[in-house]
Amino acid sequence: MHQPTTEPRPSIYYDYRVHAPWLPSQHGAQPRHKVVIAGSGPAGMVAALELARHGVPSVVVTSELQVSQGSRAIVFTRRSMEILQQVGTARRMTENGLPWRFGNSIYQGQTVFRMEAPHDADDRFFPMLNIQQQYMEEYLLDACAASPLIDFRWGNKVVKVEQRGDHARVTLDTPEGEYVLETDWLIAADGGRSDIRTMLGLKMEGASYEGLFVIADIKIDLPFPTERLAFFDPVWNPGNTILMHREPHGIWRVDYQLPPGEKPEDALQPESLKARIDAQLEMIGHGGTPWEMDWCSVYSARTLTLPDYVVGRVLFTGDAAHLLPIFGVRGANTGFQDAQSLAWHLAFVIRGLAGEQLLANHSAERVGAAREIIDEAGKSTRFMAPPTHGFRVLRDAVLSLSLSRTQDFVRPLYHWRTSRPHEYTHSVLNSRGDDNALFTTAPAHGAPPQNIRLGADDFLLDHLGGAFDLLYFTDADAIAQPLLDVVAAVRQRGVPVRVTAVGARPAVQGADQTLADVDGHFRQRYGIPASGGAYLLRPDQHVCARWLTLDATRLQAAFKQALPQ
């Protein structure tokens, strides 16, 4: 029988709550479920919340009785915050997190490259926000608990998966023994060491790097701003790299690379941790400052992905689908995008609004995103943790005084290529007969939308999401009836559609909502001429069509393309 620990995880700043296990003896016979989600990490819970937003119930099973230990993912990007806004947890994240936008690459005591992430008045969220993963999971968990469509089961470990054509049989072990769930779809969100991936005999494609990093959370008072600090070739760890991030509650995250051949268990010995952290503090001018260890672990850099995230009735997401290096904060941030994409694709299939081939599109889009990330992350990884002598020679040349301090063209090699939302430029859901090619700016096919400030605490993305959104730019007092007829026909099939008029008038007849654009700023950011135009956004907010002129035939074709039967 599965016996998860009932002892709260140790921490000097976070109070872990141990939840009661879900036991089969306390519940009746189990029906066949629409969706079972294995894993209660960021990807699993966002998938459950997004499915619930589309009216689809799910059962979330997790082998543990509490949220994860240690800071783990601590940096959350603007796009992640926009996704978390959709599931109702962004406000708590911003209230408790530390926003930032600058990153520093430091060599021999001097800053040789300073990254500045874009940020302007139209952005509700900062480019990055630091907060420990325990808090993020706590906020998601509270949101799940508030949803009547999410059945959360602690202490339930998946031990067997059987595929049966139109469903899967999942055997779960609990503190009182095993039971079986049948489900139309099983979402494998069970992390980088996915048991489900192993059970199905699946292999990832890509590369694993030999470099190992120690990750340590320490409580210490340091007078540095919330900015990313990367130290190359430090005197106490020659040839290697150290990263530092400020976290809430007086915690600092220190990541340092180990010399080749050192075993993880040796690196995590208290005397080894103390010597190296003391050396880092000495190097930055704070030797002797008292500090206390909260949590530590060892990490290896890997760039791997499954070639397909749909395997029969099992759908892979997050780290169960791909393994990405920490450089560029890609893990959880990519997982949020995976889960948001998977949820709307799957919900539309379950509700009969599109055929199962829609799931093949989800896989193609997200595998494509993973491969793009792997390409970019690989560049960062090869610089941060050179895998061969040749790469180390190249990095050492870049780090040399003659290059890093005198040659501007070299400095961007230090750039960590921060995680960014993937643009589904070649998605089969994109309209083939729109005016995308005629636009010279603004969000293109497959891109997420550009947020727009509408008021002091009012932004465009506060009004969008969870449906197909038609943004219709007009100065007329009504939307043309043929367009409304197309919208009505799509809605009659059960497809959620929201029509938003954008213009100078206070209200536009036929629109579900009207957003003011008296000074034309909204139009300008979206590349819309004075004569008008329109955008169609998918339920995950990515653009699938845009027009300089829109008629009923073109709108109908766009919906047909985006919802394959």
The pLDDT value recorded for residue 110 is 86
Rounded to whole angstroms, the Cα distance separating 107 from 21 reads 50
Query: Residue for token digits 């009932």?
Result: 6
| Residue 211: per-residue pLDDT | 75
Q: Which residues pair with 162 in a beta bridge?
A: 169
Helix (H), strand (E) at residue 524? helix 521-525
Residues 6+ apart with CB under 8 A from 162: 168, 169, 170, 171
Q: Report the distance separating Cα 193 and Cα 354, nearest Å.
A: 32
Backbone angles phi and psi of 143, in degrees to 5: -65, -40
Q: For residue 404, what pLDDT is reported?
A: 52
Number of Cβ atoms within 10 Å of the Cβ of 65 = 19
- Using an 8 Å Cβ cutoff, are 424 and 542 in contact? yes
Q: Evaluate whether 131 touches 98 at the Cβ level (below 8 Å).
A: yes
Residue type, 498: R
Do 246 and 252 form a contact (C-beta atoms < 8 A)? yes
**What local confidence, expressed as pLDDT, does residue 414 receive?**
52
State how far the Cα of 368 lies from the Cα of 346, in Å rounded to an integer. 18
Position 443 scores a pLDDT of 96
Q: Which of 96, 93, 55 is nearest to 77 (CA)?
A: 93
Checking phi first, is residue 106 left (phi over 0); if not, alpha (psi -120 to 50) or beta?
A: beta
Q: Are strands 205-219 and 292-305 parallel, antiparallel or unpaired?
A: antiparallel
Q: Of 445, 459, 425, 424, whose CA–CA distance to 527 is shortest?
A: 445
Report the C-alpha gap between 494 and 491 in whole angstroms: 5
Q: Which residues of 10-22 are buried (b: 16+ CB within 10 A; e: fewer)?
A: ebebbebebbebb
Q: DSSP letter at 22?
A: P
Q: Given this model, what pLDDT does residue 261 score?
A: 87
The total of other beta-carbon atoms located within 10 Å of residue 229's CB is 20
Question: At 140, which helix (H) or strand (E)?
Answer: helix 133-145
Instruction: Report yes or no: 62 and 144 within 8 Å, Cβ to Cβ.
Output: no
pLDDT at 324: 83
Residue 391 to residues 84, 277, 328, 387, Cα–Cα distance (Å): 38, 27, 19, 7
> Would you state the pLDDT for residue 274?
98
CA separation for the pair 53, 467 (Å, rounded): 10
Concatenated DSSP letters for 318-385?
Answer: GGGTEE--TTTT-HHHHHHHHHHHHHHHHHHHHTTSS-THHHHHHHHHHHHHHHHHHHHHHHHHHHHS
Q: What are the pLDDT tens digits along the chain (565 aa)? A: 999 999 999 999 999 999 999 999 999 899 999 999 999 999 999 999 999 999 999 999 999 999 999 999 999 999 999 999 999 999 999 999 999 999 998 988 888 888 899 999 999 999 999 999 999 999 999 999 999 999 999 999 999 999 999 999 999 999 999 999 999 999 999 999 999 999 999 999 987 766 789 999 999 999 999 999 999 889 999 888 899 999 999 999 999 989 888 999 999 999 999 999 999 999 999 999 999 999 999 988 788 999 999 999 999 999 999 998 765 556 789 999 999 999 999 999 999 999 999 999 999 999 999 998 888 765 666 665 666 666 666 666 666 654 555 566 555 555 554 557 889 999 999 999 999 999 998 999 999 999 999 999 999 999 999 999 999 999 999 999 999 999 999 999 999 999 999 998 899 999 999 999 999 999 999 999 999 999 999 999 999 999 999 999 999 999 999 998 8
Determine the pLDDT at residue 299: 87
- As a 3-state breakdown, the chain gives helix, strand, coil percent values, each rounded to 5, of 30, 25, 40
Give the bridge partners for 252, in sequence order.
218, 246
User: What is residue 327's predicted lDDT score, i.e. its pLDDT?
Assistant: 59
pLDDT at position 403, please? Answer: 53
Among residues 227, 296, 300, which one has the least CA distance to residue 257? 300
**Helix, strand, or coil (residue 227):** coil
pLDDT of residue 251: 98
- DSSP string across 248-271: TTTEEEEEEEPPTT--HHHHTSHH
pTM for the full model?
0.94
Distances (CA, A) of 232 to 216, 390, 419: 18, 17, 21
Using CA atoms, how far apart are residues 143 and 45, in angstroms rounded to an integer? Answer: 9
Residue 495's Cβ-side half-sphere holds a number of Cα atoms within 13 Å equal to: 24
In Å, what is the CA distance from 518 to each residue of 160, 504, 521, 531? Answer: 59, 5, 8, 15
User: Regarding beta strands 468-473 and 497-503, do their DSSP bridges make them parallel or antiparallel, or are they unpaired?
Assistant: parallel
Both tokens assigned to 264? 């993880």
